Structure 1
Amino acid sequence: MSVLPNVIIVGATRSGTSSLHKYLAQHPQVFMSKKKELSFFNKDWLYNKGLPYYSQFFRQAEVVGESTPLYLEKGVVYNTKNSIVVSEKSIMERIRNSLPGVKLVVSLRSPVTRYKSRVEKNYFQGKKDFTSCISDMIKKELLVYEKKYTLLYGAKYRIHLEDLFEHFSRDSVHVMIFEEWKANPQLGMKKLLRFLEVDPSFSRRIEYVSNNSVESYKSMPFSNSRKFLSDVYMFGRSLRRLRRANENIVMTEYDRRWLYKFCREDIDYVEKTIDKKIPSWHIER
């Protein structure tokens, strides 16, 4: 008998989803996929293999899940070259049609600090289109904002959440605020476990641990030197990682305020969705 997930952590990237996945995997009533990001619903060549392929990653438990944080972003898929593009496809519609009754978990982080974190990750991974200056990144992304995928698009929570709630009811979605549950992981996990209808007392054993820190991307990349040397693209990325390892990402006060203004309607929408203010997301004038 095939087993399919009844919960998916759908986002957001750089918002603690790796930690949530790890926490849930420790619970005796929960099975989380061994590989965190299966990307089944946003990679056409995997989705076209069908649910029998997808089911091989799971085994029977009261709660069965996976975590692919890019699912949250409306229309965002991987093309045949394995690069990210914005399409007309609805990931949420695919999930709803494939997994009726599934519950979704969304962890949201301040779009300002999240933008910086996403730039850091990509820059220290050696990706050539990224710079260490947030101002320069914003300028580059604004030039192509209407034409291709950008991190600025990923920051537009209202677009993504409206798409999510078009396909799922509010009571099937659990929204968590990263800054809040990071500060008190026991309380955050207790609420999540209650949403999943499993024993919430397990949350007492949880302490927040960053499983995907920027420092990990600064470490030596040549774990498989033969692979990197035989792949010109990966070799170039590895050299950039080495050169960038001692650098830091620069975000000015102007950058922070510009991003805050750019995302202000999205912050307001999230606060309306969860029916409370998020003080840590706001920047005083």
Structure 2
Amino acid sequence: MLPDFVVIGAFKAGSTSMHHYFAQHPDVFMTKVKEPNYFSFDPTDKTHAEMSRQQLMVSSLAEYESLFEDAKDDQIKGEVSPYYLYSPIALQRMKEIVPAIKMIACLRNPVRRAYSHYLMRLRSGIETKSPKEAFSKDAFWVKASLYADALQRYQQMFSQDQLKFVLFENLIDNPQTLMSELFTFIGVDPVFRVNTEYRFNPGGMPKFPWLHHSLSALKRIPGLRRHTPPFIRNRLARIRDRNLIPAEVLAEDVQQQWLRYYQDDILRVQDILQLDLSSWLEVKEPKKHAI
């Protein structure tokens, strides 16, 4: 069994929430483990250095198909792997293995997405520099906010009715409306209402770093994610989430620096998707904290 749809990205743009929202629908089956990353598995891809061995969870087709074996015959099957948007081979493998698949990409303001990614690295101990010092055009977390080339690759490879591009801001401001739109796109009852009270995988910094690092260490144990029941993983995730507090807003001068880097790409994305992204070209404090 293979998926009918995948959420292909972007990183730090609500993919965890979308995974759980889709999973609430009785006509949708989502893999128990988020981010199997099967289509992007490529041991020769150097950008995989950004990802842990545990994140690259599935390397064989048989193993990937087994993730969907518990789905009912009448359920629409899906999975969420944000790395697909950036992978140089994911779209080619999907074209070969699941040519009729539907794909959803949730895109976030590039500056805010990059800052959220930076904070994730900071709280995990990977990053120690200030945002201004850490910003590098060669860093994956910086390049992950450049969408235009990736969107064009997908549009060239797949038909328009297979692709759905949505904005993170809409997921935050009106999740019910957006999920109804996405339910229609994948072919299930759009009237179903999801429970959006809990914010999955919020951003921020840990109140107790020792607790955050302990929970993160558990995730790095080989095979643990695959063999731990979802309710236990969810409970541990909620402990981790409650330990986070809002991070400081990115300094205005740094926002301006980053925005200058992303500006041309934002304008290209605006043309590609025919959407008004003028708000992405403004430097201002976000109203809500990141998912």
Q: Say yes or no: TM over 0.5.
A: yes
Mean Cα displacement is larger for which, 212-221 or 11-20? 212-221
The match for 2:79 is 66
Contact 1:133 1:251 in 2 (8 A): no
Seen in structure 2, the aligned counterparts of structure 1 residues 181 and 224 have a Cα distance that, compared at 3 Å, is: closer
The match for 2:223 is none
Q: What SS class does the counterpart of residue 175 from structure 1 fall into?
A: strand
Amino-acid identity (%): 28
What pairs with 1:45-60 in structure 2 (closer than 5 Å)?
Answer: 49-58=59-68, 59=71, 60=73
Give the root-mean-square deviation of aligned CA atoms: 3.0
The match for 1:4 is 2
Q: What SS class does the counterpart of residue 39 from structure 2 fall into?
A: coil
Seen in structure 2, the aligned counterparts of structure 1 residues 216 and 36 have a Cα distance that, compared at 3 Å, is: farther
Counterpart of 1:174 (choices 149, 164, 174) is 164
Check if 1:21 corresponds to 2:14. no
Paired AA for residue 2 in structure 2: L
CA distances 1:74-106 after superposition (whole Å, capped 9, x unpaired): 42xxxxxxxxxxxxxx22101111111000010
Deviation at residue 284 of structure 1 after TM alignment: 6.1
Contact 1:16 1:210 in 2 (8 A): no
- Name the CA distance, whole Å, in 2 between partners of 1:226 and 1:106: 29
The match for 2:259 is 260
Deviation at residue 211 of structure 1 after TM alignment: 0.9
Misfit runs of 4+, over 4 Å: 45-49, 215-219, 223-228, 245-250
Paired AA for residue 137 in structure 1: A
User: TM-score, normalization: structure 1?
Assistant: 0.76
User: TM-score, normalization: structure 2?
Assistant: 0.75
Seen in structure 2, the aligned counterparts of structure 1 residues 101 and 273 have a Cα distance that, compared at 3 Å, is: same
Paired AA for residue 207 in structure 1: T
What pairs with 1:120-159 in structure 2 (closer than 5 Å)?
Answer: 120-127=119-126, 130-131=127-128, 133-138=130-135, 141-142=136-137, 145=138, 149-159=139-149
Paired AA for residue 94 in structure 1: R
Contact 1:14 1:118 in 2 (8 A): yes
Deviation at residue 63 of structure 1 after TM alignment: 1.1
The match for 1:237 is none
Paired AA for residue 18 in structure 2: L
The match for 1:85 is none
Report 1 or 2 for greater relative contact order, CA contacts < 8 Å, sequence distance ≥ 6. Answer: 2
- Name the CA distance, whole Å, in 2 between partners of 1:218 and 1:165: 43
CA distances 1:152-199 after superposition (whole Å, capped 9, x unpaired): 211111121122222112221111100122100111111111111110
Paired AA for residue 198 in structure 2: V
What pairs with 1:199-218 in structure 2 (closer than 5 Å)?
Answer: 199-202=189-192, 204-207=193-196, 209-215=198-204
* Unaligned ranges ≥5, structure 1: 76-89, 229-244
CA distances 1:25-62 after superposition (whole Å, capped 9, x unpaired): 01011000000110112223679953222100012443
The match for 2:214 is 222
Counterpart of 1:41 (choices 39, 49, 73) is 39
Deviation at residue 218 of structure 1 after TM alignment: 5.6
Deviation at residue 251 of structure 1 after TM alignment: 2.5
Contact 1:179 1:280 in 2 (8 A): no
- Name the CA distance, whole Å, in 1 between partners of 2:217 and 2:87: 37
- Name the CA distance, whole Å, in 2 between partners of 1:247 and 1:284: 19
The match for 1:79 is none
CA distances 1:104-139 after superposition (whole Å, capped 9, x unpaired): 010000001000000001110121xx135210111x
Contact 2:37 2:58 in 1 (8 A): no
CA distances 1:192-247 after superposition (whole Å, capped 9, x unpaired): 11111110001x3442632111348665032598999xxxxxxxxxxxxxxxx899
Q: What SS class does the counterpart of residue 31 from structure 1 fall into?
A: strand
